[in-house]
Structure 1
Amino acid sequence: MSRYPASVDVAIVGSGPAGATYARILSEEAPDASIAMFEVGPTVSDPPGAHVKNIEDAGLRARAQERSEGPGAGAATVNSPGAVKSGERRARPGTYLLADGYQVDGEDGLPVAAFSSNVGGMAAHWTGACPRPGGSERIAFLDDLDDLLAAGDRLLGVTTDAFDAAPYTALVRDRLAAVVDDGRADAARVQRMPLAVHRRDDGRLVWSGSDVVLGDATRANPRFSLFDESLVARVLVEDGRAVGVEVRDLGTGEVHEVRARAVVVAADALRTPQVLWASGVRPAALGRMLNDQTQVVYASRLRDVEPPAGDGIAASGALSEQSGVSWVPFTDEMPFHGQIMQLDASPVPLADDDPVIPGSIVGLGLFCAKDLQWEDRVEFSDTEQDSYGMPAMRLHYTLTDRDHAVLDRARAEIVELAKAVGEPIGDRPFTMPLGASLHYQGTTRMGETDDGQSVCGPDSEVWDVPGLFVAGNGVIPTATACNPTLTSVALGVRGARHIARTLTPVIE
C-alpha cells in the first residue's frame, strides 16, 4: 500500500517557510481541509523543520547539515563567508551547489548557486534575518502588504530584542548611526535587525525554522501530513486546471498520484519553475527575471572597548554574544542593505602579540539590489536530467553597468562603515562569488495583471491554471536588497487565505 493518500484538499510541494505558511494558515482558517506536504529531502531535526543551529551537539549538527546536502553530500563546504576565496566554488554547510549549468560562456552566471534538500529547506540553516522591504523593494500593488508582513512576523516568531543584553550591541549601532542616519527617514535609520529568534527561559537562543512557522496549529491538525524523501515530479493538470501531483517515493522508487483541489509549489526559486516546466506549465515569464543580491563583506575590530564581564551566553554552541546584529536598511538612494554582526574569529590572521577581545571582531555585509532583466533566467532541458531525474537547468545571468556601479558604491560604503565601527581588518572588502547570498528571486514573479511579464496574480495563483499556486522567494516581483524570507512568508499568507476562502463554504 502507498504511504500517500489518494486525495487531499491541498497538496504542498516543499517544506520551507513559504510551504509551511500555507499549511499553517490553512490549519487555522480551513481546519476541515486535508493537507499533504511533500519534501524531497530527509527529516534532519526534531521537531521536523527545526533550525540545525538549535542542535547543541556539534557532531549531530554536522550530521544534520550533511544530510541536507542531497546529491552534494560529502563535498567540501565553507564555514564562513570570509573563508570563500575568489573563484572557489564551495557551498555553505547544509547546502549543495548546482553541479552544471551555473554559467554560460560570456555571462557572469551564478557560480555558487546552491540548494538544500531537507525538511525545512534553507530555513534549517539560515541567519534568521527578517527585515521589512522599503522604498522600491515594496510591492506597490498590494495595499495590504504591511498587514501581511505583520502576519509573517507572527509566523516566523520575529523579535528585535534577543541581543539587547550583549555588551557591544548599542555601541556598534551608535557608531553606525553616526555616519548613516543623517537625512534618513526614521524607518531607514540604523536599528536592531529583526530576527526570527527567541530566548528560552534558561537564556539560550532558539532560531526559527519551518517548525516555528508550522506551529502547534499545524502539528496538532490531524488532517495534515508531512512526507519526506518524496519527489514531486510534476503537477497534474486536466482541462487546464491543477488536480493533483505525481510523487515518487525515493525510498521505494514507486510513483503515485495524489489528487488535490489545490496545489502549492514552494520548492525554491530555481526548483519551483522546474516543477512547473516538467508539468507542461510554461508561461512566457517562467524562470525569467531571475535576480540575486551581490554581496560585499568586510570586517572591523571594535576600538576603545573593555573586555566584557563573563563569557556571555553561547548563541550557537560556539559564539559568545557580544555585539548582536544591527541593520542598515535599504534606500533607493543607497540601494543596498547592511547586516552587521559579530564574528567568532578574525577573517585574516592577526599577530600573536595582538590579543583579540572576545566579541570585538565585527563582520559587515552589504547586499545589493539587482537591475532586473528579462534575459536573466533559469531555463530547462527537455532532454537532459539532473540528479533527481528532473529537467536539467541552466542559468543565464549578467550584471549590468548599473549593477557594477552599485557594487562599486557598496565597496566604498562598507569601508566607511568599517572605519566608523573600529579598525578595518584586511586591505579591502571582499565581493562574494555570485549566488552566495542564496536569495534567488523573480522566477515565478507575481503581477497585478496578466501582462506576460509575470507567472502568478496577487494571490499567487498561476495565470490560466486555476488551482495551481506558487510560493517562495521566486514570487517576489521587485528587486530587493533585504533578506527575502519575511516577504515570501507574507505573500504566502495572502495565497493561503485565498485558498482557505475557496475551501470554506459560505454560510448565508
Structure 2
Amino acid sequence: MTRTFPGRVDVAVVGSGPCGAAVTRTLGERAPHLTVAVFEAGPQLTPTPGQHIKTIRDPTERAEAQRRSQGTGPAPDGRSARPGTYLLPDGYRTPGEDGLPAAAMSRNVGGMGAHWTGACPRPGESERIDFLPGLDALLDEAERLLNVRHDAFDDAPFTSVVRERLAVAFDSGRGTDRTVRAMPLAVRREPDGRVVWSGADVVFGEATLAGPRVSLYADAHVRRVRMESGRATGITVRDLVHGGEHEVAARAVVVAADALRTPQLLWASGLRPPALGRHLNDQHQVMHAARLRDVTGPDTVAGGASSGVNWVPYTDAEPFHGQVMQLDASPVPLADGDVPVPGSIVGLGWFCAKDVRAEDRVTFDHTRTDADGMPAPRIHYTLTDKDRTSLEAAHKAIRRAVEALGDPLDPEPITLPPGSSLHYQGTVRMGESDDGTSVCDPDGQVWGTGGVYVAGNGVIPTATACNPTLTSVALAVGAARHIAATLD
C-alpha cells in the first residue's frame, strides 16, 4: 500500500472486488511486463488486502470493519441495510414504480467480496450467454481464481438428508446439470475444521500484489476516465486521505465497480452509449424456513462443518434458483426449552430471474450529486406481470421444498423488498454487436472506444437467477485476456 500515486501505468483498474482482482491477477499471469494500478474508493479492512471479514475473529473488530464499509453518506431514514453495506439515500424509487428500496453497496478494499456468501453456481439454460465462445473455459478459470469447491460442507449434519429430500421434490424432468446438488462455494477448510471464505485476496493471489508491477491504492476515488480521440488516456483520482486530485496516464482503463457505480463513472466521463444504465435487473427473492422431520440425533463428524449448503438450480421451466442452508440457529423464535437437533433448522432462499427490459434503468444528470460529488443515481424499476407470475411460482416451489424437508417455521414464505438480493446486473451489459442494446463487446470493451473496459455483475446480459459472481469473474477474465493480447 502506498500514497504515492503513479504518473503512468499500462492498466488502471477501478474497483478492487473479485472482478477487479480477477483482471489484475490475469494480467499478471498473462502479461507480467505490464504495470497495473488498482484504485479503491473505500478503506482497507484487513492486514491482507481484500480478505473476507469473516477472517476477523474478534466480533468487535469485525463490526468495526463492517461499519467502515458502509460509505460516507448519511444513513437513510426508515430503511436498514445489512451490515457492511449502505443504501441509496434517495432516488431509489420513481413515483408510480416499484423501485429498488433495498439496493445496497459496499465501499472497501475487496468490495462485496469481503461480505458475500461465497455461492458460485454455474448459469444454466437461458441464463447462459449463448454468443460467447469458450464460456465454460472461462467459468473453469473463475472457479480456479475463486478457489471454488463442490464438497466443502458435505460433512455437515443432515446435509445429505436435505439433498435427497429436495431431489425427490425437484429432480424429475431436469437435465443432468440441473439436478439438486451441493452448492459450489468459494471456501477452503483448514485442518482444524475452520472455514476460510474467499475474498478478493484469494482472487488477487499472494504473488500478484507482492509483485513489483502491481500496486493497490485504498481511499482513492476515481472521478473520471480521461479520453482523447475516442481512446482511454488515463484517469482522474481523488486522494481521500490527503486530499487533492491526481492524473494517472494509462493505456487501458477497466471500470470494475458495481452495476450502479460503473455506469455512474462512465456517464461522468462523457461515455454514454445508448444502453448505459439500461436493462437493470435484480433477482426478486423469496425466503422460508423449515425444521427437518424424522431426524432424532446428531449426525456430526468430528471436526466437521456445522452448516451445509445445497442448491436447486435454475431451469427455464422453473425460472428461479434455490439456495438451501442449514442454520446454526432458528430464524424465528422457538418455544422455551425447545433446543433443535444441530443441522435440523433449514433456511431457504429462492431467487427469481427478472423480466429484463430496457425501461428498467439507472439514470444520472448534472442537477443532483451524491455524497462524493458524483452524478447521483435515480432508479426506474418496475415488476411486470411476468415477474409477479414468477414470484407466485417461486412461492409455490419454496413451499414444495419445505413440505419435502419437514415442517415450516413460518406460516408463509416472505417476499423481500426489491434490491435485497444485491445481485444487480445489466447496466453495462455485454452484446454481440453494437446495435444500441449493449454497452460493451464480448471482450468487455465499451463500444466505440479504445482501451475502456467494464467488468462486474453489470456486464451480464442475460436474465439470471443464480448468484452472479462466478459468471462476472469469468467475463472479467475474458476482458483481461483481451487487454493482455492487445497491449502485448
Same fold (TM over 0.5): yes
Asked whether 1:498 is paired with 2:487, we answer no
CA-to-aligned-CA distance 1:252-302 (integer Å, 9 cap, x gap): 220000000000000111000000000000110000000010000000001
Task: Give CA deviations for 1:346-376 in whole Å, capped at 9, x if unaligned.
Answer: 2222211433222211000100000011110
| Alpha-carbon contact 1:51-1:209 (below 8 Å) kept | yes
**What secondary structure sits across from 2:271 in the alignment?**
coil
Structure 2 residue aligned with 1:109: 99
Partner amino acid, structure 2, of 1:111:
P
| Paired position in structure 1 for 2:336 | 352
Question: AA paired with 1:99?
Answer: P
- Deviation larger for 484-493 or 336-345: 336-345
1:73–1:186 CA distance, 2 compared to 1 (3 A)? farther
Aligned equivalents of 2:53, 2:301: Cα separation in 1: 23
Structure 1 residues 456 and 33 mapped into 2: Cα distance closer, same or farther (>3 Å)? Answer: same
Report deviation, 1:71: 2.1
Q: How many angstroms does 1:311 deviate by?
A: 9.3
Task: Find the counterpart in structure 2 of residue 195 from structure 1.
Answer: 185
Please state whether the residue corresponding to 1:93 is helix, strand or coil.
coil
The letter of the residue matching 2:465 is: A
Q: CA deviation at 1:129?
A: 0.2
Match of 1:226 in 2: 216
String of CA shifts for 1:97-143, please: whole Å, max 9, x gaps: 01100001000000010110000000100000000000100000012
| Residue-by-residue CA offset, 1:353-405 (whole Å, 9 max, x unaligned) | 43322221100010000001111000012121100111011000000000000
1:328 Cα deviation after fit = 0.3
- In structure 2, do the counterparts of structure 1 residues 346 and 75 end up closer, same or farther at CA, with 3 Å as the change threshold? farther
Q: Is this contact kept in 2: 1:26–1:496, CA < 8 A?
A: yes
In 1, distance between residues paired with 2:156 and 2:352?
A: 28
- Matched letter for residue 29 of structure 2: E
| Match in the other structure for 1:268 | 258
Distance in 1 (CA, whole Å) between partners of 2:154 and 2:180 is 15
Deviation track 1:211-250 (CA, whole Å, cap 9, x = no partner) reads 0000023123210000000000010011111110000001
2:74 and 2:366 mapped to 1: Cα distance? 26
Structure 2 counterpart of 1:457: 441
What does residue 335 of structure 1 align with? 319
Q: How does 1:7-406 map to 2 (within 5 A)?
A: 7-71=8-72, 89-308=79-298, 321-406=305-390
Q: Distance in 2 between matches of 1:484 and 1:313?
A: 31
Answer whether contact 1:69 1:95 (CA < 8 A) is retained.
yes
Q: Are the aligned partners of 2:157 and 2:342 in contact in 1 as well (CA < 8 Å)?
A: no
Gaps of 5+ in 2: none
One-letter amino acid of the counterpart of residue 59, structure 2: A
Q: Does 1:473 align with 2:450?
A: no
Q: Which amino acid aligns with 2:103?
A: A
Pick aligned residue for 1:415 from 379, 387, 399: 399
Question: 1:466-501 deviations in whole A, cap 9, x for unaligned?
Answer: 100000000000000000000000001110000001
Q: For 1:291 and 1:233, locate their aligned partners in 2 and report how far apart those are by CA, in whole Å.
A: 25
Q: Structure 1 residues 58, 377: CA separation in 2 closer, same or farther (over 3 Å shift)? A: same
Contact 1:312 1:322 (C-alpha < 8 Å) held by counterparts: no
- Partner Cα separation in structure 1 for residue 456 and residue 260 of structure 2: 10
Q: 1:373 to 1:74 in 2, by over 3 A?
A: closer
Give 2:366's aligned amino acid. D
- CA offsets per residue over residues 328-358 of structure 1, 9 Å max, x none? 0000000000000022222222211433222
Deviates more, 1:214-223 or 1:414-423: 214-223
Q: Which amino acid aligns with 1:503?
A: L
**Percent sequence identity over aligned pairs:** 62
Using the alignment, how far apart are the partners of 1:254 and 1:21 within structure 2?
A: 29
8 Å CA contact 2:284, 2:352 repeated in 1: yes
1:5 maps to: 6
Classify 1:135/1:274 alpha carbon distance in 2 versus 1 (closer, same or farther; 3 Å).
Answer: same
| 1:49–1:2 CA distance, 2 compared to 1 (3 A) | closer
1:306, distance to aligned residue in structure 2 (A): 2.6
Separation of aligned partners in 1, 2:449 and 2:173: 47
Residues 1:424 and 2:425 are matched in the alignment: no
Give per-residue Cα distances to partners, 1:305-326, cap 9 Å, x unaligned.
1332679759xxxxxx444000
The aligned length equals 487
What CA distance in whole angstroms lies between the structure 2 residues aligned with 1:382 and 1:448?
31
CA contact (8 A) 1:445 1:477 kept: yes
Contact 1:71 1:96 in 2 (8 A): no
- Aligned residue number for residue 84 of structure 1: none
Distance 2:151 2:293 in 1: 24
Letter in 1 for 2:10: D
Could you say which residue in structure 2 is the equivalent of 1:435?
419
Alpha-carbon RMSD across the aligned residues, in angstroms, is 1.6
Structure 1 gap segments, 5+ residues each: 77-87, 315-320
For the residues of structure 1 that align with 2:485 and 2:47, how far apart are their CA atoms?
A: 32
For residues 27 and 449 of structure 2, the distance between their equivalents in structure 1, rounded to whole angstroms, comes to 21
Letter in 1 for 2:284: T
Task: State the 1:63 CA deviation.
Answer: 1.0
- 1:31–1:452 Cα change, 3 Å: same
- What is the CA–CA distance in structure 2 between the aligned matches of 1:165 and 1:339, rounded to whole Å? 18
Instruction: Check whether the contact 1:273–1:286 (CA below 8 A) recurs between aligned residues.
Output: yes
Q: Contact (CA 8 Å) 2:283, 2:353: kept in 1 or not? A: yes
Give the 3 Å change call, closer, same or farther, for CA 436–131 of structure 1 in structure 2.
same
Whether contact under 8 Å (1:67, 1:73) holds in the other structure is no
**How far does residue 72 in structure 1 lie from its aligned partner after superposition?**
5.3
Structure 1 residue 75: Cα displacement:
7.6
Output the CA distance in 2 between the equivalents of 1:272 and 1:301.
42
Alignment partners' CA distance in 1, 2:203 and 2:31: 17
